Amino acid sequence: MRPEQTLTAYALRLGDSALILGQRMVELVAAYPELEEELANANFALDYIGQARLFYTYAGELEGAGRSEDDFAYFRPEHEFRNLLLVEQPNGHFGDTIVRQFLFDVYYLLVLEALTRCSDRRLAEIAARAEKELRYHLRHCSQWLLRLGDGTEESHQKVQQSLDELWRYTGEMFAADALDDAMRTLFDGPDLGAIAAEWHRDVAAVVDEATLSMPPEQHMASGGKKGVHTEHFGYLIAEMQNLPRTYPGATW
């Protein structure tokens, strides 16, 4: 793989996780029973989608084949998406939504911080922009995890269950594959081993303060980074891609 191909694939992968989490949150727009959360959800979704656009635009420029951000988002089939399995999981109840975002955000923030120091200037610039937004996200979902975990008996039990059920999708974040290795060797990219340790420490600190327990070690699901998705993914992109595929070239 040539160095530019590494960067293209890596930028797409980052864009995919951001876009798919953003799309999941878009499904919740106008569904919140309370204005503050409604705005928080929509604002955050907008940040993720904006970040995906920056990554996709860069990938398109590197690839040099004239593909736009829309081509990547709307005209690729399921197996070409390389997002983490965690972000494609259904919204479930509010505890599931918050835990999913929390587990991802702790990881994503660490990756972005590492990328601000990578040797590719453009990725470092996008990461510097996105990192500032992620701090707000993380503060928000950490506070909710505390409130739900240390809240009522029911909220505690429900959010513990969310944590236990989503935990199996966290392993693939840290399982470095050839692309992660190439990114690290060629461009001083993130060291996933170091990030795993920091992630466990940061997650454990909030989980502990929320009076929740860390899930036991278990078998970890993986596949997202190779384009092998869970059964929920097809429905997600079917909805996301329906309009542009039915009316190609449609504009507002």
Partner 1 sequence: MVEPAVSRDTILEWLAEVPDPEIPVLTIVDLGIVRDVECDTGVVVSLAPTYSGCPATEVIESSVIAALEDRGIANVTVKRVLSPPWTTDWISDAGREKLRDYGIAPPERGASKRALLQGQRHIPCPRCESENTELISEFGSTACKASYRCTDCLEPFEYFKCI
Nearer to partner 1, 54 or 176 (CB): 54
Give Cβ neighbours of residue 184 (< 8 Å, ≥ 6 apart): 176, 190, 191
User: Contacts from 229-238 at CB under 8 Å and sequence distance 24+?
Assistant: 229/78, 229/79, 229/81, 229/85, 229/88, 230/85, 230/88, 230/89, 232/88, 232/89, 232/90, 233/20, 233/78, 233/81, 233/88, 234/78, 236/20, 236/23, 236/24, 236/88, 237/78, 237/81
Minimal distance, residue 105 CB to partner 1, in Å: 13
Does 48 bind partner 1 (CB under 8 A)? Our answer is: yes
- Indicate which single residue of 53, 100, 158, 225 sits in contact with partner 1 (rule: CB under 8 A): 53
Does 29 bind partner 1 (CB under 8 A)? Our answer is: no
Minimal distance, residue 213 CB to partner 1, in Å: 25
For partner 1, how many residues bind (rule: CB under 8 A)? 27
Nearer to partner 1, 131 or 165 (CB): 131
Length of the chain equals 252
Minimal distance, residue 218 CB to partner 1, in Å: 32
Q: Which residue has the tokens 């975002």?
A: 101
Does 40 bind partner 1 (CB under 8 A)? Our answer is: yes
Closest CA relative to residue 74, chosen from 239, 251, 212: 239
- Interface with partner 1 in residues 113-152 (CB under 8 A): 121-122, 124-126, 128-130, 132-133, 135-136, 139-140
Nearer to partner 1, 46 or 221 (CB): 46
Minimal distance, residue 50 CB to partner 1, in Å: 2
Minimal distance, residue 170 CB to partner 1, in Å: 23
Nearer to partner 1, 35 or 65 (CB): 35
Does 24 bind partner 1 (CB under 8 A)? Our answer is: no
Does 50 bind partner 1 (CB under 8 A)? Our answer is: yes
Q: What angle in degrees, to the nearest 10, is found between the helix axes of 94-115 and 153-166?
A: 50
The C-alpha atoms of residue 150 and residue 173 are separated, in whole angstroms, by: 27
Spatial contact of 145 and 162, defined as CB atoms under 8 Å apart: no
Nearer to partner 1, 49 or 163 (CB): 49
Does 207 bind partner 1 (CB under 8 A)? Our answer is: no
Does 43 bind partner 1 (CB under 8 A)? Our answer is: yes
Q: Residue 142: is it exposed, middle or buried by C-beta count within 10 angstroms (0-12/13-18/19+)? A: buried
- Using CB under 8 A as the criterion, which residues of the chain lie in contact with partner 1 when the complex forms? 35-36, 39-40, 43, 46-51, 53-54, 121-122, 124-126, 128-130, 132-133, 135-136, 139-140
